[in-house]
Amino acid sequence: MSATLKDIAAYTGLSVTQVSRALNDHDDVSAETKIRAREAARALNYRPNLSARKLASGRSGIVGLVLPPQDRTPRDSMFVQMVRGLSSAFSRQGRLFVLNAADEGEDVVEVHRRLIDGGSLDGFVLIEPEDADPRVAYLQRRGVPLVMHGRGALAPNYPFYDIDNIAVGRELTAMLLRAGHRRIGFVNGVRSMCYVAHRRAGWEMALRAADVPADPMLHEHGQMTESVGALATLRMMSMQSDRPTALIAGNMLIAKGIYSALSMLGLKVPGDVSVVVHDDMLPGEDLMAVPPTSGTRSALAQSWEPLAQGLIGAIEGRALADLQRVGDFEIVDAGSIAPPV
């Protein structure tokens, strides 16, 4: 038999009302009380009665994510971390997180419509934003709360959690410019992704500030995989006298491909080519072949709690300004940058 709100109240010395409001993250409950109630709920293995909650509040306590079709889905390690992290974050807030994967070629807006019309979900987490994202337009038209991992525009009209990807692209480029590099290649992500466009804008911004032309031949788009990193590096390094003296990797898998290609060419880092990378700090990837690399770092895991808080806040009608968060990133000097030869 599972614990009840009365059991948690007896365990903590709080009233049933206080426990209920704490587990539902109401603003008039102190952070200390929320922590006490949540820790007791975990200790007692409390599971909210979702049917009773819907009858009382008109909400089910269930939120969801529609995973885009396979050609746009994050790689396996990222997908696993995302599902695990979001499930845990919403569970700590007394909500149930469910996943629905769109089939290849299926309209994701239609998937959202079907789930909304089923009447079981209070709101959605969205990933991989696009410019003028049709999912956002549809959910807002239906009055359904949402939170976005990332953002399309820099000042969107919906809740989100993001890092400043323009600043990431700018800082990665500036690290190399400060060392004297002027031919700086960038192996970036899929062109249609907004964060990819923001990082490219940062690359261009840093080059422009240093009065260095942004050569489109030094910027490659593609899936964030080892093979894309290797092939892009081989192409750029075949440019004879115009080849880059430094490379930016969009993630650690791309960096692994860059290192492999440079090794095949007999080039060393940083003696022959400098390399920097943005690291999402994803566990479980076989990246032992990547030497310590300078760049920027921001753990993807730091987004789960703000996303859960943002969606719950949207469901409860909190002010938009309180539901838009920009996270930090670190700058790492790991010895992979040297002046150009």
Of the candidates 297, 301, 316, 23, the one whose C-alpha atom is nearest the C-alpha of residue 147 is: 316
Q: Same domain for 169 and 43?
A: no
How far is residue 80's CA from residue 122's CA, in Å, rounded to a whole number? 23
Over pLDDT 70: what percentage of the chain?
Answer: 91
Mean pLDDT, to the nearest integer, of 109-134?
90
Q: Per-residue confidence at 313, pLDDT binned at 50, 70, 90? A: very high
How far is residue 222's CA from residue 189's CA, in Å, rounded to a whole number? 5
Hey, what amino acid is at 44? L
Q: What is the pLDDT of residues 37-62, one digit of tens each?
A: 888 887 887 766 655 554 445 567 89
Q: Per-residue confidence at 69, pLDDT binned at 50, 70, 90? A: confident
Q: Check residue 55 and give its pLDDT.
A: 41
Q: What is the pLDDT of residues 243-278, one digit of tens each?
A: 999 999 999 999 999 999 999 999 999 999 999 999
In a domain, 330, yes or no: no
CATH of the domain at 30: 1.10.260
How far is residue 85's CA from residue 301's CA, in Å, rounded to a whole number? 7
Mean pLDDT, to the nearest integer, of 19-42?
81
pLDDT at 145 over 90: yes
Q: How far is CA 151 from the centre of its chain?
A: 10
In a domain, 155, yes or no: no
Q: Domain count of the chain? A: 2
For 10-14, 273-277, 303-307, which range has the lowest pLDDT when averaged over its residues? 10-14
CATH of the domain at 270: 3.40.50.2300
Q: Per-residue confidence at 73, pLDDT binned at 50, 70, 90? A: very low
In a domain, 215, yes or no: yes
Q: Per-residue confidence at 304, pLDDT binned at 50, 70, 90? A: very high
In a domain, 208, yes or no: yes
In a domain, 245, yes or no: yes
For 28-32, 39-43, 76-80, 243-247, which range has the lowest pLDDT when averaged over its residues? 76-80
Domain that holds residue 206: 165-299
In a domain, 217, yes or no: yes
Cβ contacts of residue 121 below 8 Å, gap of 6+?
Answer: 60, 62, 63, 64, 98, 115, 144
In a domain, 98, yes or no: no
Q: Which backbone phi and psi does 44 adopt, to 5 degrees?
A: -95, 0
Mean pLDDT, to the nearest integer, of 9-21?
85
Mean pLDDT of the chain: 89
In a domain, 184, yes or no: yes
Of the candidates 148, 91, 82, the one whose C-alpha atom is nearest the C-alpha of residue 282 is: 82
- For residue 127, list its beta bridge partners: 149
Tokens 């696009």 identify what position? 130
